[in-house]
Every structure is written in C-alpha cells, then in structure tokens.
Amino acid sequence: MDPDLRGKVALVTGASRGIGKAIAEELGRCGADVALASRDASAIAGAAAEVSAGGAETLAVPADVSREDQVEELFRRIEAWRGRLDILVNNAGVGSFGPLRDFPVDDLDRMLAVNVRGTFLCSRAALRLMRPRRSGYIVNIASVVGFKGYPDQAGYTASKHGVMGLTKSLAVEAQADGIRVSAILPGGVDTDLVGAARPDLDRSDLMQPGDIARAVLFLLSLPERAAIDEIYIRRRTSRPF
C-alpha cells in the first residue's frame, strides 16, 4: 500500500530526469509537496512542471550539490517555502568509466564531489530541519557497486562505497533524533549513466526508473518502529549484471 504523504515535504536531488524524476513523481502522487533540485535550471523547471501536472505542489531549485553555498541556499529556499523537511532523497550522482591505469583524476574528483560530498552536504542540511521535529527520512540512492566490483568502474565504485559509509554511520547517529536513514542500491536501471557504464547491456532488459521509485515508497510506508538499512534491487534475469 502506498504511503499517505499528505502534509509532508520532500526534496529529491538530481530530479530533472531518470530515477530522480521518477521518485519526485511518485512522492507527489502520494500527496507530498516536492522540491526538485538539479544543476540544469531549464530541465529542473520542466520536471517540476510535470510533477505539478499530477496535482503536487512543487518547488524547482537549480543547485549543484557539490557546492556548499548552493546547498545552503537550496535548504533556505525549502525552509522559506514550507518551513520543514520530512523526506530527503539524495539521488544526484555522476559517473565516469574506464580502466584505472589511465583514468583522469579530475573525473575521480568530480564523482567524489557530487556523489559523496553532495550526499554529505544535503544530509547535514536536512538534519538541521528534521531534528527539531524529531522525525524524518533520508534515503540515499547508491548503486550495486556499493558492494560489488566491476571492471572499468573503480572511481565510480569508490564514490558509491563512500555513500554507503555515510549512510551506515548516519543511520546510527540520527536514530536518537527519530530520523531514519536508508540506502537503495540499484543494479541495472535504464538510465543514461548505466548506458555509459555498461554499453554491453540490452537496455530493453533493464529495470525502469519507476521501479526504484517504488522502493522509496516502500521505505516510506514502514511503521516508525521499523527500519531498513539498505535495499539491493536488481533486474530479474538469468544472466549476471
């Protein structure tokens, strides 16, 4: 059964397309007011308009989550808009792929900045809004590479291990304030990032972004006395991912 999110305020980062947009749509469908963030101002405005068309109240904020000043401004705007935050989905992420022997260090730095630093900055800002209410849910979208290794993905894998480290520590730290923290580790979703990472895969055989959005709704439907640390969700196939 879908959660009743009426009266709740949610933020989804990386929400202009793919998994993030699908999550924003599902949260809005369940009654939440949804703030959407992405670096692309035009794309995030368009995504917010689509979510609004489903009946949700939305706020579109262009923001690079690797930038502390932009994250602080993002959360200031959310607080001014609704005065609270109940749900944060850290979905923003980038990926670069190739053999480690000649992998550009700038690409590694960018992945660590967005995937790890961005998750850190947004979670820290969310805690400041959630702690006074002693409730909230932070969901971090990690990846199957958060616990598995694949060739030509060393830098990306390192960044997603960082996300998992943040998730595990914060889940323990935040529980005293009534805040739950979980990670979703998707494997094989039909997105541009997976297409770049695994051009060998038949994209028609992959999961859809909406499948991951449904996993977020499952977490939000749990009673407050229950907590799930992580969900690994993969495509159903007889072949290895």
Active site amino acids: 156
What strands lie across the sheet with 87-90, from one edge to the other?
A: 58-62, 33-38, 9-13, 87-90, 136-141, 179-187, 230-234
**One-character DSSP codes across the chain:** -----TT-EEEEES-SSHHHHHHHHHHHHTT-EEEEEES-HHHHHHHHHHHHHTT--EEEEE--TT-HHHHHHHHHHHHHHHS---EEEE-------S-GGG--HHHHHHHIIIIIIHHHHHHHHHHHHHGGGT-EEEEEE--GGGT---TT-HHHHHHHHHHHHHHHHHHHHHGGGTEEEEEEEEESBSSHHHHHH-TTS-GGGSBPHHHHHHHHHHHHTS-TT----EEEEE---SS--
Cβ(201)–Cβ(188) below 8 Å? yes
What is the rounded CA–CA span in Å between residue 83 and residue 90? 20
